[in-house]
Chain A
Amino acid sequence: MKKILILSTALSGMAFTASADVTVMSWGGAYTASQVEAYHKPYTAATGKAVVSVDSDNPAPAVKAMVEAGNVTVDVADVEYADAVRLCDDGMLETIGVDTLPPGADGTPAAEDFLPGSVTDCAVSTIVFSTIFAYDTTKFPEGPTTIADFFDLEKFPGKRAMRNGAKANLEMALMADGVPAADVYATLATPEGVDRAFAELDKIKKDTIWWEAGAQPPQLLADGEVAMTTAYNGRIFAAAAAEGKPFQTVWDGQVYEFDLFVVPKGAPNAAEAIEFVKFATSTQALADQAKWISYGPARKSSAPLVGLYQDGKTEMAPYMPTNPANMTNALGSSYEFWVDHDSELNERFNAWLAAN
């Protein structure tokens, strides 16, 4: 409803202000809603310029298609790290540069304020998100606690759901099979390691539903279609905190990574878009977003400002992927690995899925 409101105000705004609006493409659902609250609305309040929100299952392919076709209709897109690097290498993104970003609220220069590696030539991180697994507490009162439990149908019977793709699934499978987080990518770079990951996935294949969009896993859990699912941590938090669903997140074996804002080459309002990115990745905006969804801000200076959830009583820190208690067995997604192996492993994954 909020989104519709924003959209309609944006549309009616467009009628008066010709083309100064910024169109932002993001992942939809609770995540886009948090961006609307923390970035779009304050930006409109501060500058008087409307922000239009567009949803996609993954904005990166859409950006590539638009730039290749020479018909770019979005000004800002929210993409994953490997995609941000690839698109930047292919010359499809505007350069932003860490030096042009505003310093943190405490005066720290942006280059030091952002978490290491979270700003590239063309992209600025907003949040750290994580792929975790979650279960329905009504089905398992004595719930699973480790990533190995996710792949253990005997101990925890019931349907599973995982993202339809190789990324994060293979890493989780290896960690479940006992590979330490530090060795996961070295293992996955060998054919034996890949076989090992697929052998682990084989254990639950016949009982698994494969989801495409981030909004699906909480839905599958809520419908009782599955007993456990991998998901983006913020989606599970949003369903549990905002809607009171009996979902429990298991942080063991989480795979975390950055989400970044990029400006496609040829964006209709590129200059305005970069201003928007600067605004949205400022200390306060990033801290505000944590009020709406449990993703960690990419600026260090935002962390102390993160307080309570919008309900005014839930402390956010325990729900952040970067919370030390949640990091005991956690893996940072390697974009170098996925840039190289994305097509190969996804093809293997598709073949594996199609084979009965």
Chain B
Amino acid sequence: MADAPATELKTSDGRPLRAALAAAQSRARRRAFLLVVPLLAFVILTFVVPIGYMLKRSFEHDGFSASAPSLAVWFAANPKGAAPDEAAYAALVSDLAKMQVDKTPGQAGTRINYTVPGTISLFKSAARKAKDLTPPFKEAMLELDAKWAEPAIWMAMREASSSYTTDFYRVAADQKRGPDGSWQRGADNERIYLFLFFKTFLLSGAVTLICLLLAFPIAHLLATLPVSKSSLLMILVLLPFWTSLLVRTSAWIAILQEQGIINDLMYSTGLIADDSRVRMIYNQTGTVIVMTHILLPFMVLPLFSVMRTIPPSYARAARSLGATSWTTFRRVYLPQTLPGIAAGSLLVFILAVGYYITPALVGGADGQLISNMIQFHMAKSNWSLAAALAAMLLLAVMVLYWLYDRLIGIDRLKLG
């Protein structure tokens, strides 16, 4: 308390100055907050709520649990691994009969089918006959289909009898239920997601690097040319930026395909034979080329805005003090552009990680990214798996962002 004033200052009406100031400031803050309330509400309603709702689906699915109350009771009363007894089959039959009445055997079967393939029709056909079955139910069910004795189905039903589950994250991590119902690593020809995550980050990194190498000289040129010329060049950078993504992607198809402009040119100049045209699209190469082109402005603009503010006198000073042009670039110019490099790289990388239209159109078989799988499962109506994959992607990006903050510092970011 050494720095506390000996006598407190008061306003003219006798209130302590400190309190009066705080009151006045909080009023201003409240008013300022009211100004952002519409935006905040907009963001929450259109962004946070739908995304949260979607992500919730990754660990919540009541397709089975909502229509199988009797089985849930049996699972709760019996420990994991207990062999299904007559009571279990009786519960199953009563739930199946209820599903038939409620028209839900398809939904329940679909939930089990996510981890044990081939069960939708099993549920449907059993549900149709459930109300006519007589005890002993175990024999009756096994007579319908011997599959009902499989441990994998019972394990899957136990897991699904709660509406909360880790199933979708397991599938997203390339695991599958073995014949005994336990989770195992999927067979080599079935594993895909972790590989695609890895590939997505690798390709995004490559696109970011290529963008940086291409954008750096352009941005430098833009920043150092006289305004009249640089604004003309700027339009060339911005024009594609304003053109529809689909149009640009389709244009690349026309340019790169085997009967396309580049191949035709190489053929007519005798560089290649007609039967050895280069395949530049519908593969990974196509994805990288087109994504680089589409994301380039996101690298040029932050770099440009940073480079514009670097006084040319610094470089001149370095040169006059005897630095070579390489040293000047490396020790004087480059460090000053770092905030722009950081911003551009982060922007391009994060955009690239989530790209899906471009890979879908030009990626062919091996140029697909994880976002294409998310879209695939959305379209194939396995929204929970799509949500689990999206959650993993979101988490990975957040971890990278955190790393970036620790290593470079987010306050060094400069977008313009």
Contacts and interface: CB of A to CB of B under 8 A. Distances in A.
B120 A351 contact: no
B107 A90 contact: yes
Interface string B50-83: 0000000000000000000000000000000000
B360 interface: yes
Given A336-B121, A347-B190, A209 B103 contact: no
Contacts of B368: 350, 353-354
A341 B364 contact: no
Contacts of B103: 89, 91
Contacts of B189: 198, 348, 351-352, 355
Interface string B167-206: 0000000000000000000000111100110010000000
Contacts of A183: none
B382 interface: yes
Contact of A343 (B113, B121, B122): B113
A343 B380 contact: yes
Nearest to B361: A212
B190 A340 contact: no
A350 B192 contact: yes
Contacts of A344: 113, 117-118
Interface stretch (B240-248, B309-317, B371-379): B371-379
Q: Does more than half of chain B's interface fall in helix, strand or loop, or is it mixed?
A: loop
A351 B118 CA distance: 19
Interface in B356-397: 360, 364-366, 368, 373, 376, 378-382
B114 interface: yes
Nearest to B124: A89
Contacts of B121: 336, 339-340
A65 B199 CA distance: 29
B366 A354 contact: yes
Contacts of B365: 205, 208, 210, 353-354
A91 B34 CA distance: 45
Contact of B118 (A65, A340, A354, A355): A340
A341 B380 CA distance: 12
Given A86-B106, A350-B192, A343 B259 contact: no
Contacts of A223: 257, 259
A354 to B, nearest CB: 5
A102 B124 CA distance: 30
B282 interface: yes
Interface residues of B, number: 37
B282 A341 contact: no
Given A61-B381, A91-B103, A354-B366, A225 B192 contact: no
Contacts of B259: 223-225
Nearest to A205: B365
Contacts of B190: 347-348, 351
Contact of A341 (B117, B122, B191, B258): B117
Contacts of B192: 347, 350-351, 354-355
Given A205-B365, A347-B192, A351-B190, 18 more contacts: A61-B378, A86-B106, A89-B105, A89-B107, A198-B189, A212-B360, A225-B259, A336-B121, A340-B119, A343-B117, A343-B382, A344-B117, A346-B376, A354-B199, A354-B366, A354-B368, A355-B192, A356-B366
19 contacts: A61-B379, A89-B105, A89-B107, A89-B124, A90-B106, A91-B103, A210-B365, A225-B258, A339-B121, A340-B117, A341-B117, A343-B113, A344-B118, A347-B192, A350-B373, A350-B376, A351-B190, A353-B366, A354-B368
Interface of A: 58, 61, 64-65, 86, 89-91, 159, 189, 198, 205, 208-210, 212, 223-225, 336, 339-344, 346-348, 350-356
**Shortest 7 CB-CB distances between A and B: which pairs?**
A89-B106, A344-B117, A351-B192, A61-B379, A353-B365, A224-B259, A340-B118
